[in-house]
Chain A
Amino acid sequence: MFAATIQAGGFVEGLVWLADAVGVEGALFVGITFLLAGLLATGIGTGYGTTVAFVTLFFPAGVLLGANPTLLFGAILSGAVFGDNLAPVSDTTIISAVTQDADIGGVVGSRFKYALIAAVPAFVLFVAAGSAMAGIDVAGDARSIFVANSEPAGLAHLASLGAVIATALYGRHIIEAISWGIITAVVLNVALGLAAVSEMLVFRIPTDAPVGDVTFLPVVETATDASEVGVGGSIYSGAAGFFSISILILLIIGGVWIMVRGGAFDALLEWVLESVATTVRRTELSMVGSVALINAAITINTAAEIAIAPYVARLGERFNVNAYRRANILDANTAALGYIFPWSGGVLVGFEAIRTQVLPEYEWFTAAMVVNPADVFPYVFHGWLLVAVFVIAAWTGFGREYTIDRVPDEVTTL
């Protein structure tokens, strides 16, 4: 709801304006795209939403500016990885903290080092590859796309992000922090004319509704067609978008607990402990590998994370690995691989946005410019580097923490 509401208020259009205002061009464009996508994803907590927003607004302009389309798509996916991994309001961040019994703020703080170590060389790689990899020569005016898609006032939603962070830093519950963010976003949208009330919440009633004329209310509209009757707006659609995945997650949790109660889970664990995870180093490496395997099988990263979370917890607890470290191994590799495998949800949502939104929108954009998911996976630099950081961290012990080192706070504090 928070992400959808600040997007309705043009926050991404504000970032587009910012990119245009500082005159980013050429090789640096790909690097800056990575940074801005990472900023958006960290603010709104949804990598999928960030991917769609950047593919539709940044991608066509970047292609016109001479950026290689495959590399540019890789930079957008990398930004999504960064935010999914680090954002306090990201679903995967919250799941990793809750399932490992650690506070969200501590989890974010403890994973900052891994994210930074991966992000710095990823940015350098994007700039370097942006210079080395040729773009497509198309006749068009990139600036006109920027101007058409830019809205400087959208940057006001930095205050919405600030409201979430400030409330959270004040020690309030994560639900309360996000609620203050939604309230701030709604007030800014209305006060600055960024979005009408009906874009955030609308009840479309039939013409013969037995309630009299209530269309003077800003949240009520008359549906001209029976198929339009219903509830809409960012607040509703933001929540509704998660209904189906919530049911999938409940089913996965049910399946996992059937395995736990039935003993299959312990049998699998004992086998792993006897044959593979015989030292703490091998245990952490096997956690990274197991998270990779589950993400290859379950393409929605949230669902994959929930399915493997009990395994990571039990295995780590056998070596008294701290909840923060377990949460970081779980989330970083889920976030990364959920945007690397060509069949993963993160890649496919971006591919679909290019195919169904960018392709029909611009005359100069041809089917040959649509990026094949199988081509982009080597260029998700931040994702690959994040996985590499964790393999090295498991091997060397960098960042490792035990239960004896510190006790996490209550789960929902930031």
Chain B
Amino acid sequence: MSLLEKYLYGWRRRSSRPSFDPDETHRVILTGFDDATATARARVGDSVLRVDGTTREHVDTVARVRVKEFDEGAAQGRAELLEVVGEPVY
């Protein structure tokens, strides 16, 4: 991103419930664990992605995931784990 783009980026309102399209890949922090589905989840704003292929140990890691499906009405969806890329700052 150029210097000018850094200054012009973000002059807009961003929804509290961001949406996702299938096959998109994202880098997210896995923020919790869903006992019902036994998968880690990534809460992004007020939207939630349940991430297949994860265990409780993946919570609080930074992971690259691919979106499988997303329901905009419910702001919930499913994704699959591609790789763990790091840990959050604290």
Contacts from A to B (Cβ < 8 Å): 99-101, 105-106, 108-110, 112-113, 169, 260, 279-281, 310, 313-314, 317-321, 323-324, 396-407
Contact = CB atoms under 8 A, between A and B. Distances in A.
A18 to B, nearest CB: 25
Given A112-B7, A404-B27, A407-B27, A310 B90 contact: yes
Interface of B: 1, 3, 6-7, 9-16, 18, 26-29, 31-32, 42-46, 88-90
A313 B10 contact: no
Contact of B13 (A279, A310, A319, A398): A398
Query: Which secondary structure dominates where chain B touches chain A?
Result: loop
Contact of A403 (B7, B14, B15, B27): B27
Given A109-B9, A403-B28, A320 B16 contact: no
B45 A402 contact: yes
Given A318-B43, A323-B89, A403-B27, A105 B3 contact: yes
Contacts of B43: 318-320
A99 B2 CA distance: 23
A397 B16 contact: yes
Contacts of A108: 6
Contacts of B28: 320, 403-404
A317 B88 contact: yes
A404 B62 CA distance: 11
A112 B11 CA distance: 10
Given A313-B88, A317-B29, A317-B89, A402 B44 contact: yes
A405 B43 CA distance: 14
Contacts of A279: 16, 46
A323 B29 CA distance: 12
A110 B10 contact: yes
B44 A110 contact: no
B10 A101 contact: no
Given A319-B31, A323-B89, A407-B27, A281 B7 contact: no
Closest 8 CB pairs of A and B: A109-B6, A400-B14, A101-B89, A320-B44, A280-B45, A404-B26, A109-B7, A310-B90
A396 B13 CA distance: 7
B11 A113 contact: yes
A280 B16 CA distance: 6
Given A106-B6, A317-B29, A399-B10, 8 more contacts: A113-B10, A279-B16, A318-B32, A320-B43, A323-B89, A400-B13, A401-B10, A403-B44
A280 B15 CA distance: 10
Nearest to B62: A403
> Chain B CB within 10 Å — which of A106, A108, A310, A319 has the most?
A319
B6 A110 contact: yes
Given A397-B13, A402-B18, A404-B18, A319 B3 contact: no
Contacts of B44: 319-320, 402-404
